Amino acid sequence: MKHLWAVAGLLAFVGTAFWFNAVRHTGGSAHGTQKEATAGARNVGGQKESLERLRSIAYLERYIEEVINKGSSQNLGFAYGDMPAGMADAEAAPKIAAYVVSLAGLEPSHPEWVKEGRLFYISNCGGCHGEDGKGVHGTFPDLTRVPLLGIAKRIEAAQRAERRMEMGR
Ligand code: HEC
């Protein structure tokens, strides 16, 4: 009898794990298709979907990579001004992004990149953003805040668009 309960428990656990995974994969994708994007612009349901995407870890990783490769001139309100492009190699960027995600206490899509990413981070980013990623108040942004400032701006813009859409109906 005890045996049976153990088997039932295991099955329930495996089932839940599969379900979680499925939800993560459908909700967490940062690579929306063109079709999804246009649908998103047309209906409020689509807007909600795009809000979810903006909050996903995959999006956070892509955003960090983009900032590394292209720099950041978003007027985020720091005394230093803009972050120049190419502070690290494009090849190292996804690994650094995995490490920065882990600094924020989140689970990166590729946990196996964190260790290497940390080394790149310390030599390429730590000088400004601090080894702990917490930045320097007023001068360099805290990379452990959730959502990051640039993403928060995009979320606010998407919410404004959603409200306009709701009013227009
Ligand atoms: C020379 C100093 C400097 C270095 C080195 C540097 N950054 Fe930055 N970073 C900044 C500044 C300043 C900003 C704010 C720019 C703005 O207002 O758009 C910033 C912004 C960012 C943002 C956006 C923050 C947000 O809240 O949206 C991310 C992500 C980021 N940096 C990651 C990195 C990573 C990863 C590295 C290493 C590859 C790095 N930075 C190296 C100065 C630096």
| pLDDT per residue as tens digits for the range 18-48 | 554 454 444 433 344 444 444 434 455 667 7
The dihedrals phi and psi of 140, each to the nearest 5 degrees, come to: -130, 135
Taking the C-alpha atoms of residue 66 and residue 59, their distance in angstroms, rounded to an integer, is: 10
Contact residues of ligand 1, CB 6 A cut-off: 64, 67-68, 72-76, 78, 80, 82-83, 87-88, 96, 100, 124-125, 127-129, 140-141, 143, 148-150
What is the tens place of the pLDDT at every residue in 106-157?
A: 999 999 999 999 999 999 999 999 999 999 999 999 999 999 999 999 999 9
Task: Set out the domains of the chain in order of their start, with CATH numbers.
Answer: 56-146 (1.10.760)
H helix or E strand, kind and range, residue 54: helix 44-54
Question: For residue 35, what pLDDT is reported?
Answer: 45
For 42-99, write each residue's pLDDT tens digit.
455 667 779 999 999 999 999 999 999 999 999 999 999 999 999 999 999 999 999 9
- pTM score of the predicted model: 0.78
pLDDT for 49 equals 73
Instruction: In whole angstroms, give the CA distance from residue 31 to residue 106.
Output: 20
Q: In angstroms, rounded to a whole number, what is the distance separating the alpha carbons of residues 73 and 53?
A: 23
Ligand 1 atom closest to 145 (CA): 26
Residue 84, preceding peptide bond in cis (omega within 30° of 0): no
Residue 10 is predicted with a pLDDT of 57
Q: How confident is the model at residue 2 (pLDDT cuts 50, 70, 90)?
A: low
What was the pLDDT predicted at 18? Answer: 52
Which of residues 4 and 14 earns the better pLDDT score? 4
Q: Specify the 3-state DSSP secondary structure of 144.
A: coil
